[in-house]
Structure 1
Amino acid sequence: MGRVKHNMVKSLGKRTSSSVSPTDGSKKRSTLQMDLEVLECPICFETLTKPIFQCDDGHLACSSCCPKLSNKCPTCAFPIGHIRCRAMESVLGSISIPCPNAKFGCTDNVSYGLESTHVKECIFSRCSCPALDCDYTGSYRNVCKHYYSYISSRSTPLHHYAFLLYKASSTVRMNISDKIKIHVDYTNELLFVVQCFRESYSVCVTVSCIAPSSAKVGKFSYQLSYTVDGDTMTYESPDMKRILKVSFQTPLEKFMLIPHSSLRGDLLETKLTIKKVIQV
């Protein structure tokens, strides 16, 4: 991962930054060129982020690498991980670059090293179609339109989908082996994904919205309930995950856990309620 990042940064060439002109007492900005490789940890080649440490001889290392090195500089063997390099932290904090989605219309400048965080929230970020055999990407609204057109044009079922009514409890019937069911909010151009993950002793059920985590999209909560032999288990999430691409890896958070002993075959029937969260 580090080497891929290193090569990507090299391909960017040089970026412009700002400096203060010493010609008078006022602060004037002038452009300069900087090789972005100097902003990488020389050990893992990832972008340096605060805190940045240096050894007694001035060699740098990121906070993640210091413990792996037993706090010993690999260049000179001096101790490292105790002295902050405030100068490099100031340099890093002063640099901003255009959003990776600039070509799609985003005009924001992003602090260097925080591009991936911004992309998760950027309204211009590309989302992926949830269909397994489709590689279409686009804005979350275009993905919704594309998906609905895509499944409507197929002669054989892609996977189960249903239309969404907010605040109303709807029955979600799906085979656990199908792994995914899509709920379409065609009015607001949003896709919601219900996923099942069969593990050794249980099934995980989670719900996500295919969209960036932008305030312009909105925030959603949901409730899942499952009833078997008169007993009901319920899971509530006040903040539904918003994702750019569907993952088929078992989630580490925000899911309902149903033991195998509570299942009745492959058919899973749950009650789902999705609500828009009013933001103030």
Structure 2
Amino acid sequence: MGVYNDLKTHYYTNHKDTMNEFVDVSSSGERIEKVLVIQMDRSGPLVAVQFIKEQEGFYLTVKSIAPSAPGVEECSYDISYSYGGKTMRHGSSEMKKVRKLCFKKPKRDFMLVPNFLIGQHCPTSDIEICIGKPKKDDEEEEADEEDVKV
């Protein structure tokens, strides 16, 4: 857990200037890769939202950069993309934990936005992300005070 806590502190201290914005990872031909890293607070989990543009549209994935170990905070998420009066949504009560980001086309736990729903501007500006603690079955579906919207 020590290295994981060091990573969270490093990110908060050194990368505050890129918080809440997608950063280009690579671009070649029609493929574009971007990542947005979110941290609710200095001790909160690091959450990566990956944007991968392929020929058929763009893929969005949401993952926690954390070890799968006891004591590591669990997160849930909801992500939506809106354009031209249409909205797509995807969410999960359990966010996948990864130690390293991979920019391969995802096979599960992703949202694919097809080209016909993408406007002429950068589609990352039409994405809304809500990250929170997993909700128990008897809790309301509304976001609580600890949820973070980006």
**TM-score strictly above 0.5:** yes
Q: Is the 8 A contact 2:75 2:134 kept in 1?
A: yes
Deviation, structure 1 residue 149: 2.4
1:141 is aligned to 5
d(CA) in 2 for partners of 1:263 and 1:175? 19
* 1:277 maps to 2:134: yes
Q: TM-score, normalised by structure 1?
A: 0.41
Match of 1:277, SS state, is coil
Structure with bigger helix share is 1
Alignment partner, residue 19 of structure 2: 161
Mapping of 1:122-271 within 5 angstroms? 124=1, 139-151=3-15, 160-162=18-20, 174=22, 177=32, 179-264=34-119, 265-268=121-124, 269-271=126-128
Distance 1:259 1:206, change over 3 A: same
Q: 5 Å matches for 1:81-160?
A: 124=1, 139-151=3-15, 160=18
Which runs of no fewer than 5 residues in structure 2 stay unpaired? 25-31, 137-150
Q: How many residues end up aligned between the 2 structures?
A: 127
Q: CA RMSD in A?
A: 2.3
Question: Secondary structure in 2 aligned to 1:239?
Answer: coil
Report the identity percentage.
28
Change (3 A) 1:183 1:239: same
Bigger relative contact order, structure 1 or 2, given CA contacts below 8 A and separation 6+?
2
Q: Where does structure 1 lack aligned partners over 5 or more consecutive residues?
A: 1-123, 125-137, 163-172
Quick check: which one's strand share is greater? 2
Cα distance in 1 between the residues matched to 2:12 and 2:19: 10
Match of 1:179, SS state, is strand
Q: 1:150/1:178 Cα in 2 relative to 1: closer, same or farther (>3 Å)?
A: farther
Task: Give SS of 1:196's match.
Answer: strand
Partner residue of 2:29?
none
SS of 1:219's equivalent?
A: coil
Alignment partners' CA distance in 2, 1:267 and 1:226: 8
**Cα deviations across residues 15-38 of structure 1 (Å, max 9, x unaligned)?**
xxxxxxxxxxxxxxxxxxxxxxxx
* 2-structure distance, mates of 1:256, 1:210: 19
SS for the counterpart of 2:43 is coil
SS for the counterpart of 1:183 is: strand
User: Following the alignment from structure 2 to structure 1, what is the Cα–Cα distance between the partners of residues 106 and 95?
Assistant: 13
Cα deviation per residue 1:178-199 (whole Å; 9 max; x = unaligned)? 6101111334342111110111
Could you list the structure 1 runs, at least 4 aligned residues long, displaced by more than 4 angstroms after superposition. Answer: 175-178
Q: Assess, with a 3 A threshold, how the Cα gap between structure 1 residues 238 and 189 changes in structure 2: closer, same or farther.
A: closer
Deviation of 1:278 (Å): 5.6
